Amino acid sequence: MATAPQHVTTLASLNQPVSAWVDEVAKLTQPDTVYWCDGSDAEFQMLERQLVARKELLPLNANTNPGCFLSRSHPSDVARVEHLTFVCTRNKDDAGPNNNWMAPEQAHRQMDELFRGCMKGRTLYVVPYCMGPIDSPFSRCGVEITDSAYVVLNMKIMTRMGRAALERIAHDGAFVRGLHSIGDLNPDRRFIMHFPEELSIKSFGSGYGGNALLGKKCHALRIASWQARTEGWLAEHMLIVGIENPQGEIHYLACAFPSACGKTNLAMLIPPASYKGWKVWTVGDDIAWLHPGKDGRLYAINPESGYFGVVPGTNAKTNRNAYETIRHDTIFTNVALTADNQPWWEGLSDGKPVIDWQGRPYDPANGPAAHPNSRFTVAAKQNPAYSKLADAPGGVPISAIVFGGRRRTLAPLVYQARNWLHGVLVGAGVASETTAAATGAVGVVRRDPMAMKPFAGYNFADYWAHWINVGARLKSPPQLFHVNWFRQDAAGKFLWPGYGENLRVLRWIIDRCTGRAKARDTAIGYMPGAGDLHLDGLDLAPGALDELLAVSPALWRTELAGIGAYMDEFGARLPKALQAELEDAQKRVAGA
């Protein structure tokens, strides 16, 4: 093994349990070099230069996109792989019917065989990271061992990575162990294994985001949701956004939408022109850790420090904040290129693609120029709407929790749950059309409770019970809502313009929380009447609003029956209170 530079030895000596584990992994994986990451900008630039020299990172046009790079992943490795993702608990029922399960001993044996000698000729990077502000009592640390420098660069942007995290680990004691290798990128030798009882992760054979950046979905959702249940908090697939009205009053919302269903866009939205004096502040765009506070409210931190966002559809009109954020110092993965080396994607208003995401001359016959799940990785601080409280150790108080999904039909623009328990049912009943964020068919409606189907690290029945318990502990719980930006007309056109205009719906939600807005009591919950939404300056197609706010009792009877059948899969573990709430909901719809 190569001798380590001086500062590297210092880092290793900071933490005995980490270095003992690193030695053990190095023995198994046989790297040429072991490198401890300090998280400095100099280190980031050094790794960028190495990847550029190896042609694994392409510098983009330095005039139009300074500090930007393109990475192309293997064409078979472009999204999360849910069928290869496992939760390995001693007792199979603890993982639940919502997860793939394997016995921990078997999973370790299988993974260790894959890892044996897999880093020969490669560098093993030790990546200490902290999920959440480094000084927050709610933050949790981990160490990812990886043989991918691309992963290191992404982890530097997405987490508080390096020396400070290692110091915190020395102080905390516990840390999540994440072992990752890109292996040979063979989909038959690709697995993402979670061991929540051991606070560990083993991921092999993929270099893509959610499979490889282990701080994100693997740690901050699957492992953290397990920890959160034991410790009395919630780890959720939610954006966190602050909405400031012209009087300067700010309300924070946490919104759970499935992958590629609009979290990043909502978290950064630009108010419509007629909403003068309104401001939007981004706290987080993908994950929220929610803690009951001493004052009986729920407080949220964003465990991440960057955005790993969907590129297609981003432009100056749909989301100027996102567009500005990714103009510089951004890693693009799987976008197309213009003739002058600018990044290009579907939905961008100008330029044209010459090279597609696989590096081939662009030919529409090969499909879209940018991969539909192409992504940007960018520091959250580059966002013009970055909240002053994004790094607050105590988080922000949450006024409303909003569930949502991508539903062509059925789900109206917005409705409010009657109370916390009804809201848990509304969240548990979320269904959404699948997207390109995971491999498999796109556009198929599937159950995705709380947008956590791919991310809950334990049995959903226990998870819903935990949600009910957390609510019971809150003196002033957030109000719970459901939205749908994706209703379509018969011709397949979106009925609601979405993006910035979504603020109109958030305004009604906030006004409901403060008692300022009226609502109709409907069979599915409280809804705005046509006059209760502030729609000045909005040009909706005739009849669109009526359709967006319509509730069809017949369709809802079928929907609730479907939710019931889904919940039956959880058997006797399903909380009785949730079953009773479903029966009440069914009675209300039957009588409508």
Residue closest to Mn ion (Cβ): 286
User: By C-beta, is 264 or 387 nearer to ligand GTP?
Assistant: 264
The contact mask relative to ligand SPV for 338-377 (x = CB under 6 A, - = no) is ----------------------------------------
Q: Is 499 in the site for ligand GTP (CB under 6 A)?
A: yes
**CA atoms within 13 A of residue 162's CA, in its CB half-sphere:** 17
CA nearest 174: which of 210, 214, 131? Answer: 131
* Phi then psi dihedrals of residue 209, to 5 deg: -15, -95
Stretch of 35-43, 139-147, 260-268, 456-464 contacting ligand GTP, by CB under 6 A: 260-268
**CA atoms within 13 A of residue 50's CA, in its CB half-sphere:** 13
User: By C-beta, is 111 or 452 nearer to ligand GTP?
Assistant: 452
User: Under rule CB under 6 A, which residues in 287-316 are in contact with ligand SPV?
Assistant: 308
User: Under rule CB under 6 A, which residues in 310-339 are in contact with ligand GTP?
Assistant: 310, 312-313, 318
Q: Is 448 in the site for Mn ion (CB under 5 A)?
A: no
| Cross-strand pairs, 446 | 432
| Cross-strand pairs, 281 | 242
Stretch of 33-41, 187-195, 209-217, 361-369 contacting ligand SPV, by CB under 6 A: 209-217
Stretch of 31-39, 44-52, 282-290, 377-385 contacting Mn ion, by CB under 5 A: 282-290
| Cross-strand pairs, 195 | 200
CA nearest 548: which of 509, 496, 502, 481? Answer: 496
Cα dihedral across residues 185, 186, 187, 189: positive or negative: negative
CA nearest 411: which of 324, 348, 495? Answer: 495
User: By C-beta, is 80 or 140 nearer to Mn ion?
Assistant: 80
User: By C-beta, is 240 or 533 nearer to ligand SPV?
Assistant: 240
Quote the tokens at residue 501. 């205009």
Q: How far apart are CA 338 and CA 340, in angstroms?
A: 5
Q: How far apart are CA 557 and CA 384, in angstroms?
A: 44
Q: How far apart are CA 238 and CA 511, in angstroms?
A: 21
Q: Is 144 in the site for Mn ion (CB under 5 A)?
A: no
Helical pair 16-29 and 104-115, crossing angle rounded to 10 deg: 60
Q: Is 272 in the site for ligand GTP (CB under 6 A)?
A: no
User: By C-beta, is 82 or 286 nearer to Mn ion?
Assistant: 286
Among 25, 212, 437, 483, binds ligand GTP (CB under 6 A): 437
Quote the tokens at residue 410. 């059925």
Q: Is 498 in the site for ligand GTP (CB under 6 A)?
A: yes
Stretch of 219-227, 254-262, 440-448, 458-466 contacting ligand GTP, by CB under 6 A: 254-262
By 3-state DSSP, what share of the chain in percent is helix, strand and coil, each rounded to 5?
35, 20, 45
User: By C-beta, is 435 or 484 nearer to Mn ion?
Assistant: 435
210 contact, one of ligand SPV, Mn ion, ligand GTP, none, CB 5-8 Å limit per kind: ligand SPV
Q: Is 59 in the site for ligand GTP (CB under 6 A)?
A: no
Residue owning tokens 């009440």: 584
CA nearest 333: which of 437, 409, 223? Answer: 437
Q: Is 82 in the site for Mn ion (CB under 5 A)?
A: no
Q: Is 363 in the site for ligand GTP (CB under 6 A)?
A: no
Among 43, 94, 286, 304, binds Mn ion (CB under 5 A): 286
Residue closest to ligand SPV (Cβ): 210
Which CA distances in Å does 488 have to 250, 398, 412, 520? Answer: 32, 31, 11, 23
User: By C-beta, is 286 or 501 nearer to Mn ion?
Assistant: 286
Q: Are strands 191-195 and 85-87 parallel, antiparallel or unpaired?
A: parallel
The contact mask relative to ligand SPV for 418-447 (x = CB under 6 A, - = no) is -------------------x----------
CA nearest 453: which of 288, 256, 191? Answer: 256
* Phi then psi dihedrals of residue 508, to 5 deg: -65, -40
Q: How far apart are CA 286 and CA 437, in angstroms?
A: 13
Smallest distance, Å, CB 268 to ligand GTP?
A: 8
Stretch of 256-264, 348-356, 414-422, 453-461 contacting ligand GTP, by CB under 6 A: 256-264
Q: Is 209 in the site for ligand SPV (CB under 6 A)?
A: yes
Stretch of 158-166, 294-302, 306-314, 467-475 contacting ligand GTP, by CB under 6 A: 306-314
Smallest distance, Å, CB 401 to Mn ion?
A: 16
Q: How far apart are CA 211 and CA 192, in angstroms?
A: 7
User: Under DSSP, is residue 570 helix (H, G, I), strand (E, B) or coil?
Assistant: coil
Smallest distance, Å, CB 260 to ligand SPV?
A: 7
Contact call for residues 421 and 275 (beta carbons, < 8 A): no
User: Under rule CB under 6 A, which residues in 261-290 are in contact with ligand SPV?
Assistant: 286
141 is catalytic: no
Question: Site for ligand SPV (CB under 6 A): how many residues?
Answer: 9
Q: Is 485 in the site for ligand GTP (CB under 6 A)?
A: yes
Smallest distance, Å, CB 90 to ligand SPV?
A: 26
**Active-site entry in 68, 130, 218, 261:** 261
Cα dihedral across residues 575, 103, 446, 218: positive or negative: positive
User: Under DSSP, is residue 542 helix (H, G, I), strand (E, B) or coil?
Assistant: coil
User: By C-beta, is 29 or 325 nearer to ligand SPV?
Assistant: 325
Smallest distance, Å, CB 79 to ligand SPV?
A: 7
Stretch of 120-128, 222-230, 253-261, 557-565 contacting ligand GTP, by CB under 6 A: 253-261
Q: Give DSSP secondary structure letters for 249-307.
A: -EEEEEEE--TTSSHHHHHTPPPPTTSTT-EEEEEESS-EEEEE-TTS-EEEE---SEE
Burial class from Cβ neighbours inside 10 Å (0-12, 13-18, 19+) for residue 394 reads middle
Helical pair 576-590 and 420-428, crossing angle rounded to 10 deg: 90
Among 156, 177, 217, 534, binds ligand SPV (CB under 6 A): 217
| Residue ranges binding Mn ion (CB under 5 A) | 259, 286
| Residue ranges binding ligand SPV (CB under 6 A) | 80, 209-210, 216-217, 259, 286, 308, 437
| Residue ranges binding ligand GTP (CB under 6 A) | 257, 259-265, 285-286, 309-310, 312-313, 318, 437, 485-486, 494, 498-499, 502
Enumerate the active-site residues. Answer: 261
